Amino acid sequence: MIYLAFYRGEGRFLSDTLVQRVTRSEFSHCELFTSDTPPLPGETHLCVSAVGKHGGVCEREMTFRPGAYEFVPVPWAPADTVDRARRHMGSGYDYWGLLMTQFINMRRHAPDRWFCSKLCAKALGLADAHTYAPGDLKRIVEEHNRTYMAAQEVTIARKATAPRRYGVTGAPVFPGSGTFAGGLLAARQGAAAVMSQFAGPAPDGGLRAAAPASVPARAAHRSSRLAGQAARPTRLPEANVVQFPGQSSERIAR
């Protein structure tokens, strides 16, 4: 799971208090990281962010002091969110962008430099990443979380109440829950399951068709019967044989 850690600050005027007052938020910094379990105060995690005193984008181990951080999960974040942030490792700190977007509302920034919330918003795929202060980013992410969870609940409810239909491979199909690409894949798998009846045993989980399975046997029997008929000599009935005088030993077919 992708997480954001928002830092409340410890009273340093330039890096904490000034940012909090200008952006009208209790948060002055944010970090991006992944965790298999919900993070707890006092734990140490490997985080990616842009830090002025470290010269820009960096990755470092952070110990989250109790009371100084607030964690926000991001369930809708792309799987490569942290990798996106790591691509900018070594890039400088965007002091100019921080000044012109947060202190002076001119929305100007350096495209190849970063500050913390700008980097995190960009990695999450949010548009106009340079316009976000840490507090703004927290509000937007929490709004997206509510929308995402509501959509998940609707999808689960629809699947639970919709009648199930089963395809050729036996997998349940829910009306309206598929995509165009998924439909094509299901059709291809169904056709492969049917055709496999002519070539060999059905795949695991497939439905065996009784009627098509007997077609090769009938075709083989018919071919064998026709081959046997071709090998036997043709014998004409006596009614179709005429004898001429002096040629009693010869038979001519009409």
For residues 85-103, give the mean pLDDT.
84
Confidence of residue 211 (pLDDT cuts 50, 70, 90): very low
Q: Does residue 125 register a pLDDT over 50?
A: yes
Q: Does residue 223 register a pLDDT over 50?
A: yes
Q: What is the pTM of this model?
A: 0.61
**Distance of alpha carbon 20 from alpha carbon 25, whole angstroms:** 5
**Distance of alpha carbon 138 from alpha carbon 91, whole angstroms:** 24
Helix (H), strand (E), coil (C) string for the chain: CEEEEEECCCCCHHHHHHHHHHHCCCCCEEEEEECCCCCCCCCEEEEEEEEHHHCEEEEEEEECCCCCEEEEECCCCCCCHHHHHHCCCCCEECHHHHHHHHHCCCCCCCCCCECHHHHHHHHCCCCCHHHCCHHHHHHHHHHHHHHHHHHHHHHHHHHHHCCCEECCCCCEECCCCCCHHHHHHHHHHHHHHHHHHHHCCCCCCCCCCHHHHCHHHHHHHHHHHHHHHHHCCCCCCHHHEECCCCCCCCCEEC
**Distance of alpha carbon 191 from alpha carbon 249, whole angstroms:** 63
> What are 72-81's pLDDT values in tens digits?
999 999 999 9
Please compute, for residue 193, the number of CA atoms within 13 A of its CA located in the half-sphere on the CB side.
Answer: 18
**Distance of alpha carbon 13 from alpha carbon 246, whole angstroms:** 137
Residue 198: other Cβ atoms inside 10 A: 11
Q: Which of 144, 153, 94, 102 is nearest to 124 (CA)?
A: 144
Q: Does residue 208 register a pLDDT over 80?
A: no
Please compute, for residue 110, the number of CA atoms within 13 A of its CA located in the half-sphere on the CB side.
Answer: 14
More confident residue, 89 or 98: 89
For residues 126-140, give the mean pLDDT.
91
More confident residue, 80 or 205: 80
> What are 115-124's pLDDT values in tens digits?
899 999 999 9
For residues 102-108, give the mean pLDDT.
67
**Distance of alpha carbon 233 from alpha carbon 139, whole angstroms:** 94
